[in-house]
Homo-oligomer: A and B are copies of this chain.
């Protein structure tokens, strides 16, 4: 460190803190450009790598996004709401205003790509899904990607027992009116109960690419298991969500 230490904090942390405060104070609004590496070098009298490190802190925090050749910009947060109840049932839940705003108004969630294949079940899937006796460990795998206003926001992978769904539209890209669950109903295996397990972590390199995630944006993992009237697990759907695009909502009674 060259001259003063300024409160026992590393220079790059001080610079980061200053920028963070400025963003929080609204000096730089969503989408606006921050001082770049060169600006910070001059303003604080530091080397390029130090200015870079300061900006790296804000990127890792998800506050800011760097665009090559353009600059560093304040990120925006406009999620959509995904309701655990409503989307799979008709019951209306939770009147009253919500804590986080999430407007889906006028924005389109579309399937971007569909891929269907038959594969050997992983141990994790085989352990959850109720496979028929002697039916092997084959599963029908449906991989889809969803985009919101053109931006990919969700990767979904469904697993179903292969012998259950063979020779049905479920093995086709287009499952027909009502979708997957309507076809399961046709088979007399209509899902009536669901369990969703949720966690979060940083994306793998592959996930970051397929969701076009900038640095500092985690993914939310939702694993949904669908049970039929007999309590058999007929489908497992593993979803990977862009955490900056979604607010999940669940309701339940005491």
Contact of A218 among B79, B90, B243, B249 (CB under 8 A): B243
* Interface 0/1 of A221-254, CB less than 8 Å to B: 0010101000101001010000110111111111
B95 near A252 with CB under 8 A, answer no
Residues from chain B with Cβ under 8 Å of A127 in the complex:
97
- Each complex incorporates copies of this chain amounting to 2
Contact of A204 among B61, B130, B194, B246 (CB under 8 A): B61
Contact of A198 among B130, B198, B202 (CB under 8 A): B198
B61 near A202 with CB under 8 A, answer yes
The secondary structure that dominates the A interface is mixed
Residues from chain B with Cβ under 8 Å of A128 in the complex:
96-99
A196 near B89 with CB under 8 A, answer no
Within 8 A of B (CB), among A26-70: 49, 60-62
Question: CA of A201 to CA of B100 in the docked complex: distance in angstroms?
Answer: 13
Question: CA of A242 to CA of B96 in the docked complex: distance in angstroms?
Answer: 28
Contact of A197 among B217, B218, B247 (CB under 8 A): B247
Q: Which 6 A-B pairs have the closest CB atoms?
A: A218-B218, A99-B223, A200-B200, A94-B195, A200-B243, A198-B248
